Amino acid sequence: MTMPELFILRHGQTEWNAAGRLQGGYDSPLTALGHQQARAQQAILAACDLEGFQVLSSPLGRALETAKIALPGQKIHRRHALREIGIGAWAGALVSDLPQDARGNPSADGDLALYRSAPGGEGLGALFTRCQRFLQEIDRPSVLVTHGITSRMLRAILLGRGGDDLTDLDGGQGVVFKIKDQVQTKLVFGA
């Protein structure tokens, strides 16, 4: 897939992230660390030439709040396709309260198997389709502000991979992923 240059951000840490609670389509405010992570993303992006870039964000509050901090003064366009994967009945649940057999290999964002097996959830196949359709509509350089699992799926597609195994892709709070010509570069403040 030939794409214009993209920068992909995950929202900063939220109160529910810190508590180990699954969010999906629910929302909780950024923590002090989440604000710090968004400011780190702002510093990273300030060093990039974003002339001609559009800013597209998930409509969920945690992503919009991050976008406003990381990209001050920019017009932010909300895109439903950038929302987090739906997790059905497990939205709002503490990970520690879920059945042990629902969990797989832990990653930086917790057990990815949870997103495959959530009762009434969207599932990784549907997320793959949603993200692929969204990417086909992008016709200019863009900054995308999204969520941990959705960010991984977008990057998996952009890197020419399938959407079945996302465990080796970083979720990325406080960093920016640059994707150009099917190459991913992780940009870190102060690095």
- Candidate list 15, 51, 77, 84, residue with the active-site label: 84
Our answer to whether residue 11 is catalytic in this structure is: yes
Domain ranges of the chain: 6-188
Whether 141 contacts 54, CB under 8 Å: yes
Q: What rounded mean pLDDT belongs to the chain?
A: 91
Tens-digit pLDDT profile for residues 9-30? 999 999 999 998 999 999 999 9
- Candidate list 11, 65, 122, 147, residue with the active-site label: 11
Strand partners, 143: 7, 55
CATH number of 6-188: 3.40.50.1240
Residues 51-64: what's their mean pLDDT?
A: 98
Angle between helices 148-158 and 123-137 (to 10 degrees): 60
- Is pLDDT above 90 for 120? yes
Whether 53 contacts 47, CB under 8 Å: no
Nearest to 178 by CA among 43, 36, 62, 4: 4
Residue 22 burial (C-beta neighbours within 10 Å; 0-12, 13-18, 19+):
buried
Q: What is the pTM of this model?
A: 0.94
Helices (H), 118-147: 123-137
3-state secondary structure of 4: coil
